[in-house]
Structure 1
Amino acid sequence: MATAQQIPDILSAEFAADPYPAYRVMRESAPLIWHEATRSYIISRYDDVERVFKDRDSVFTTDNYDWQIEPVHGKTILQLSGREHAVRRALVAPAFRGADLREKFLPVIDRNARELIDAFRDTGSVDLVGGFATRFPVNVIADMLGLDRADHEKFHGWYTAVIAFLGNLSGDAAVTAAGERTRTEFAEYMIPIIRDRRENLGDDLLSTLCAAEVDGVRMSDEDIKAFCSLLLAAGGETTDKAIASIFANLLLHPEQLAAVRADRALLPRAFAETLRFTPPVHMIMRQTATEVELSGGTIPPGATVTCLIGAANRDGSHYRDPDTFDIFRDDLTATTAFSAAADHLAFALGRHFCVGALLAKAEIETGVDQLLDAMPDVRLDDGFDPVEQGVFTRGPASLPVRFTPVTARPE
């Protein structure tokens, strides 16, 4: 087994600036690393990360979420297993697929995209991160839940604090405290709304969660609050980063941008390749229930395992030219890219596959489609190089572009 000192440490400035060379070294010569600072075993090969995510024998558990997620969200569906997990997932999943997604929430997604784009449609320039990506998913989730969009800044502040807590690998006390405060603040905000909604059901997602029942089980106020907190943080941060990344990747590959512009049916391929090439979430943790062998050595029971999605998604044993962004690659299947049968690992796999994957797909495809219509010749601001930032989650912090305004908004 290797030690972290043999490669750039995951907490170092060098790693944060560009983790991909370190990922390559890990996969090739240090596939299992004991990392003292985070007290975890780091794995980086596709086959190993896939095995962890697809585990059906409860060897790799989500017990780590007791300390990693519960302090900021409360107890969530991610911490459950067996029948308890299956029932809770059955309570929430229908809202994110099929008729509910298509009939209730696609119009919400479409409207929010248009409203944000209208604010800069005639200007000829915008920072796609600040002007669209960071606001779009939060506004969509607020509208889906039937919350007051005037509270956007609260929502954004809460999810930013939560994501910082989850990515606080160095153990910064101020970040920890800010993240933990969100649990109390969000509960004080949400619980009265949930109780009122139970008495006054509507056609929003929060009402659906309040009324949902499976096998005689209904969600408590705390269950719903925790799920909404998780949805806001996970749905906001990942979609925010994905929108910025898909545009950054396409702008840096103008021939592929031209292909997507000419044929919008390529949007799912562009999104799937972005999830592989520059995933919004670069690492997910699990905890071992028993001793287990992975590439490079043995992990003891009760250990935290840090799965490097960003490294696994560029494993040359699984993908041709893995460090090349290519929406036409034949080793990534777009038709399954947003399901538990995905080729990439950005949404995890198995029973904890991201329940909001199809919502994210709808948001990305709708948002990017409308942005391309509004910006027919979009290009990066002169001299700007879109640089990713972050370690736990990662994406461009800014993406200033210029374009020639169109004379009328497409209907």
Structure 2
Amino acid sequence: MTPQEAPDILSPAFAADPYPVYRRLRDEAPLLWHAPTRSYLLSRYEDVRRAFKDPAFTSENYAWQLEPVHGRTFVQMSGHEHTVRRALVAPVFRGTSLQEKLLPVIERNAGELIDGFRDTGRVELVSQFAGRFPVHVIVDMMGLDRGDHDTFQRWYRSVVAFLGNLSRDPEVAAEGLRTREEFAAYLLPVIRRRRAALGDDLLSSLCTAEVDGTAMSDEEIRAFCSLLLSAGAETTDKAVAAVMRNLLLHPEQLAAVTADRELIPRAFIETLRHTPPVQMIMRQVAGDVEMSGGVIPDGSTVICLIGSAGRDERRYADPDSFDVFRTDLTDRTAFSAAADHLSFALGRHFCVGALLAKAEIEVAIGQLLDAMPDVRLEPGFTPRDQGTFTRGPAALPLRFTPVRGRVRG
């Protein structure tokens, strides 16, 4: 397959359904130069996995992809600098901090949003719950004014659009840069006030974090919070809707998960493989790198097609089928750097918020099933996904018989 013959990942046909295109790329062009994005595409599981673990694949691309809208964060760093900066933020999202501080915030926000529709018997899940839930959680985590939810929602959408702007639309780019300025003007004074009067929140934890004599500056805290607002919300936003959609399209699996809530993490993991919220992650190579199908020249940008890797028949049996019980996907390591799915990347750049995402999905799906035990799609509705860089259901109208009160507290 020549580049001229290859399907275009920016085309309307690809946006409508990327998975047949992914299959063709895996079979015919596992390494392909894509001129519109000036990048090489990797589509096979083993190649994408290698790109996430091999030091020859760097995060230098983040200097132009992420830094303009976020500022410099640990994801752009390498070596000792990356290790120390990551260690400053990682403890907030695991262990006792996650269980004692963040879990109550997650549970409260899920319950409050569900209270808005639990007595109505119907909900459009994307706009009324999934698209708002993780942003509300992040605002509460940072100890910010809940009256600013709509502002944070707008900033979140703007940053996500900037990061997924593969076609380089100048208006999308300009809006993302305006968002960076607005976010800085809002948050930097809050950080300074928090340093003077610490609380029991994420900003206070970041203000006091120290590793090997290194602490975070106000600007570094702001940049990390900007990263958290996009990366931390996007996976959860799309995943809540996608998990529910996948279960609703497989009633026997929905029944199993409803009966055994221990299966919710497996439904999440299988969704991350089958219909991942983040379809692509970029890397840059240091030196010429030989892969399946050819050589990637030194300094080139690489687009790792996660959505394709998760459907690779060389790695997964019957990969186009959604199956929470599949035996070739391990849940024991699924939320660690040793995961055998690729949606959180791997190795040194494995998503620092993976356990937070797991907790959010467990709480959200659990509370939704409690409130909607006989949940079903709106009659006649066929779910449709949207998005290229990130992807999830465009809408998910549901019906259910109202349950009075909160079943599980």
Q: TM-score, normalised to structure 2's length? A: 0.99
* Residue 41 (structure 1) shift: 0.4
* 3-state SS of paired residue (1:298): strand
Paired position in structure 1 for 2:309: 312
CA distance in 1, matches of 2:143, 2:186: 13
Q: Which residue of the partner structure matches residue 227 of structure 1?
A: 224
CA distance in 2, matches of 1:116, 1:182: 26
Q: Does 1:142 align with 2:148?
A: no
Aligned AA (1:43): L
More divergent stretch after superposition (348-357 vs 146-155): 146-155
Hey, what does 1:273 align to over in structure 2?
Answer: 270
Opposite residue 356 of structure 2, the aligned amino acid is L
- Aligned residue among 167, 171, 176 for 1:170: 167
- Secondary structure, counterpart of 1:41 in structure 2: strand
- Cα distance in structure 1, aligned partners of 2:128 and 2:68: 31
How far apart, in 1, do the equivalents of 2:125 and 2:50 lie? 36
Q: Deviations over 1:182-235 (max 9, x none)?
A: 111111111000111011111101100000000000001111000000001111
Correspondence for 2:332: 335
Written as runs of structure 1 = structure 2, the 5 A alignment for 1:1-400 is: 2-55=1-54, 58-400=55-397
Paired with 2:125 and 2:333, the residues of 1 have a C-alpha distance of 28
Task: Render the CA deviation track for 1:95-152: whole Å, top value 9, x for unaligned.
Answer: 0000000011101111111111111010000011111101110011110111112111
Partner Cα separation in structure 2 for residue 374 and residue 289 of structure 1: 51
Instruction: Give how far 1:298 is off.
Output: 0.4
Separation in 2 of the partners of 1:166 and 1:407? 41
Once superposed, what is the RMSD of the aligned Cα atoms? 0.8
What secondary structure does 1:383 align onto? coil
Check conservation: 1:31, 1:295, Cα contact below 8 A: yes
Structure 2: runs of 5+ lacking an equivalent: none
Letter in 2 for 1:177: A
Match of 2:398 in 1: 401
SS, match of residue 270 in structure 1 = helix
In the TM superposition, residue 180 of structure 1 has moved relative to its aligned partner by: 1.2
Cα distance in 2 for residues equivalent to 1:130 and 1:171: 27
Deviations 1:54-98 (A, max 9, x none): 12xx31111101100001001111100001000011100000000
Describe the SS at the equivalent of 1:336.
Answer: coil
State the Cα deviation string for residues 337-362 of structure 1 (Å, max 9, x = none).
11111111000001000000000000
State the SS of the aligned residue for 1:47.
Answer: helix
Question: Contact 1:3 / 1:35 at 8 angstroms: preserved in 2?
Answer: no
Structure 1's 272 and 4: CA in aligned 2 closer, same or farther, altered over 3 A? same
1:163 shift after superposition: 1.0
- 2:383 is matched by which residue type in structure 1? P
Paired residue secondary structure (2:343): coil
Question: Residue 102 of structure 1: SS of its match in structure 2?
Answer: helix
Q: SS at the partner of 2:37? A: coil
* C-alpha separation in 2, matches of 1:337 and 1:220: 33
Rounded to whole Å, the distance in 1 between the matches of 2:108 and 2:265 is 20
Instruction: Look up the equivalent residue of 1:196 and give its one-letter code.
Output: R
Residue 408 of structure 1 deviates from its aligned partner by 2.5
**Distance across 2 between alignment mates of 1:263 and 1:5:** 50
Q: CA deviation at 1:169?
A: 0.9
Q: Does structure 2 conserve the Cα–Cα contact (< 8 Å) formed by 1:288 and 1:305?
A: yes
Alignment partners' CA distance in 2, 1:408 and 1:177 = 46
**Counterpart Cα distance in 2 of 1:83 and 1:178:** 34
SS in 2 for 1:137: helix
Q: Return the alpha-carbon distance in structure 2 between the equivalents of residues 6 and 356 of structure 1.
A: 39
1:382 is paired with a residue whose SS is coil
How much has 1:5 moved relative to structure 2?
3.0
CA distance in 2, matches of 1:54, 1:357: 17
Rounded to whole Å, the distance in 1 between the matches of 2:290 and 2:147 is 51
Distance in 1 between the 2:276 and 2:92 partners?
24
* Structure 2 CA distance for aligned equivalents of residues 230 and 353 of structure 1: 14
Q: Please give the alpha-carbon distance, in whole angstroms, between the structure 1 residues aligned to 2:146 and 2:59.
A: 33
Amino acid at match of 1:322: P
The residue identity in structure 1 corresponding to 2:10 is: L
Give the letter aligned to residue 222 of structure 1. Answer: E
Task: Work out the CA distance in 2 between the residues paired with 1:242 and 1:117.
Answer: 17
Shift of 1:4: 3.6
- SS of residue in 2 equivalent to 1:335: coil
The secondary structure found in structure 1 opposite 2:135 is helix
Counterpart CA distance in 1 for 2:135 and 2:230 is 9
Once residues 287 and 257 of structure 1 are traced to their aligned partners in structure 2, the CA distance between those partners, rounded to angstroms, is 40
